[in-house]
Each structure stands twice: as structure tokens, then as C-alpha cells.
Amino acid sequence: MIEKTRIYGNPNIGSFIFTNDKVALLPPDVPEKIISTVKEVLNVPIITCKIYDTSLIGIFTTGNNNAIMLPKHFLAPDEEKEISNGLRENGIDLEVITIEAPRNALGNLLLINDKAALVSPLLGKEVAKFLSEKLGVEAKIGTIATSPLVGSLAVVTNKGLLVTPLATDEEVEALSEFFGVVADVCTVNRGSPFLKSGLVANVYGALVGEETTGPELMRIQAILFQ
């Protein structure tokens, strides 16, 4: 299932949501109607929270089905605790891990599924090593279309990978092999190459920004849910 939506009137919904195949994190002031839509489309329980006292959960959070990763620097203890408590209350077996990193925008700088993690050079080899150990994935430093914003320019699940059209055919093929899923290029929100900003997906469904076009929806459906 794929559904169009806005959050705070904004089609860049990926800035505000994190999901894997077990849970989704949303800001607490999102309307109940949108929370219900997210729960139905992604087929996971919802935990409401803030990161750095902001609604930008998708920018600061990443992870896979083994753990949720949060930046350690200046993170309020009650924010981490709120997520951990929510997981426990919902009976979800998922670790919450804080990571020492030179940058805090983990969602923009990491691309992760249950097989692999592509790590921005802005984060460095120590972060790649940490992810490999904690998440049980193959981790390597890399860019997409020469950009270090690897988490912004692609969206990956355990079924498929969508990559910015700025990437070369060789890059897309290499990423497909690395993550162990089918891959292709795509845009969201009427041509934006920053896929994460307008797409939130797991193996069950996807939410896209309201400006996403019919052809973009067809490409998302074909790659993530074929």
C-alpha cells in the first residue's frame, strides 16, 4: 500500500518519520488522523517522541530491524527513554543505541537495511565499524552521486532500493548488490532527487509526499513492492 500525505502541511514527510518493519516514530503533535494513516499503511505500532526537542525524527534517527540508532551528543535522556518505554509497552524486541559521531543528522548520513550499511565519509570509519558490530551488517564508507548525504539520496528496505537519478548506472548496480535488493532510480514530490525527504517505507507499505506524481508512484510500487 502506498499513500500520499503531508505533515504540518509539508510534503517532506521523511524529515518527520522513522520506520522499520517493527515500529514507526512520529512527533507527538501530529494529528491523530495522520497517525492512523501511518499505522495502517506501514502496518506497525506507533511511538510518539521528539529528538533534540524537535519534530525532525527522520533527520536524526536511523536503524534497521535490529536497532534504532540515535545521536549521542546532547540527546536528552528522557527522549531515549521515551522510545525505549514505547517499545517495551508494545512488546517490541528492538534495541535503542546511541552513537558517538561527528555529525548528528544520522538519517541523512546513513543508509541501512538488515544486510548492509552505507556510511557517509562525514561520519568516518569508526562509525562504520560500530554499525557493523551493533547492527550485524556489512558496513562501508561511500557516497552517492559524489554526495556524502547518502541517507538523503536513497531509501532502502529489505525488499528494494530507490536511488536518486543523479547516481550513475554503475552506482545503482553496485548499491543493489551491496544491499542485496533490486534497485532503480526515482524521484519524489514532483522531481525531487532527495528521496528520503518525500518517502517513508518498510516492507509493508510506503508513505509519500502529497506532491508525488503518478509516474513516481508507479516506480516506487515497482521497486519496493514487486
Residue 120 near residue 148, CB atoms below 8 Å: yes
Evaluate if residue 191 carries a pLDDT over 90: yes
How much of the chain exceeds pLDDT 90, in percent? 96
Q: Is 117 helix (H, G, I), strand (E, B) or coil?
A: strand
147: Cα within 13 Å, side-chain hemisphere? 20
pLDDT by residue (tens digit) across 20-50?
999 999 999 999 999 999 999 999 999 999 9
Question: Residue 109: helix, strand or coil by DSSP?
Answer: helix
Other CB atoms closer than 10 Å to residue 1's CB: what's the count? 12
- Average pLDDT rounded to a whole number, residues 66-72: 95
Residue 75 · residue 51 · CB < 8 Å: yes
What number is the average pLDDT over the span 50-59? 97
Per the structure block, which three cell numbers stand in for 55?
519534530
Q: Are 19 and 202 in contact (CB under 8 A)?
A: yes
CATH number of the domain encompassing residue 146: 3.75.10.10
Which contiguous run of DSSP H or E holds residue 22?
Answer: none
What is the residue-averaged pLDDT of the chain? 97
If one counts every other C-beta atom within 10 angstroms of the C-beta of residue 28, the result is 11
Q: Is the dihedral of CA 201, 38, 48, 58 positive or negative?
A: positive
> Based on the structure, what is the number of domains in the chain?
1
Provide the pLDDT for residue 226. Answer: 83
pLDDT tens-digit map of 136-178: 999 999 999 999 999 999 999 999 999 999 999 999 999 999 9
State residue 74's pLDDT score.
79
Q: How far apart are CA 109 and CA 125, in angstroms?
A: 13
**Banded model confidence at residue 75, pLDDT cuts 50, 70, 90:** confident
Structural contact between residues 203 and 157, judged by C-beta atoms closer than 8 angstroms: yes
Positive/negative CA dihedral, 8, 13, 17, 20: positive
- Which domain range does residue 10 map to? 2-224
Return the pLDDT at 73: 86
Which contacts qualify for 214-217: CB closer than 8 Å, 24 or more apart?
A: 216/186, 216/187, 216/188, 216/190, 217/2
| Predicted structure pTM score | 0.96
**Residue count of the chain:** 226
Q: At residue 182, what are phi and psi to the nearest 5 degrees?
A: -70, 150
Mean pLDDT of 88-113: 96
Using an 8 Å Cβ cutoff, are 172 and 219 in contact? no
Beta-strand pair 46-48/24-26: parallel
At 120, give phi and psi (nearest 5°): -60, 140
> At 172, is the secondary structure helix, strand, or coil?
helix
